Chains A and B, each alone.
Chain A
Amino acid sequence: MGDDASMRRFIGRDLVLGECPARACVELRGDPDDASFVRAVRTVTDLPLPLDPGRSAAGLLASILWLGPDRWLVCSDTQAGSDLAASLRAALAAIACAVVDVGAARIVYAVGGSNARAVLAKGCSLDLHERKFPLGHCAQTLLAKAPVLVHLSGAEPTFEIHVARSLRDYAWAWLRAAASEYAAEADDA
Chain B
Amino acid sequence: MLRIACPWCGARDETEFGYGGEAHVALPADAAQLSDAAWAEYLFMRSNPKGRHRERWVHTHGCRRWFNVVRDTTTERIFAVYLAGSPPAQLPDEPA
Contacts and interface: CB of A to CB of B under 8 A. Distances in A.
**A–B interface present (Cβ within 8 A):** yes
A154 interface: no
A147 B61 contact: yes
Contacts of B16: 125, 141-142
Nearest to A69: B8
Interface residues of A, number: 13
B43 to A, nearest CB: 30
A128 to B, nearest CB: 13
B63 A141 contact: no
Contacts of A69: 8, 63, 65
Contacts of B61: 140-142, 147
Chain B interface, >50% SS class? loop
Contact of A141 (B8, B12, B64): B12
B1 to A, nearest CB: 9
A68 interface: yes
A53 B13 contact: no
B9 A139 contact: yes
B15 A54 contact: no
Give the bracket for the number of chain B residues in contact with chain A: 10 to 19
A53 B61 CA distance: 14
B15 A53 contact: no
Interface in A65-108: 67-69, 71
Contacts of B63: 53, 67-69, 71, 140
B12 to A, nearest CB: 7
A53 B12 contact: no
B62 interface: yes
B10 interface: yes
Nearest to B8: A53
Contacts of A53: 8-10, 63
A139 B15 contact: no
Contacts of A142: 15-16, 61
B87 to A, nearest CB: 20
A121 to B, nearest CB: 13
Nearest to B13: A125
A53 B12 CA distance: 13
B62 A139 contact: yes
A-B pairs, top 9 by smallest CB distance, nearest first, are A68-B63, A125-B13, A140-B62, A53-B8, A53-B9, A142-B61, A147-B61, A69-B8, A68-B64
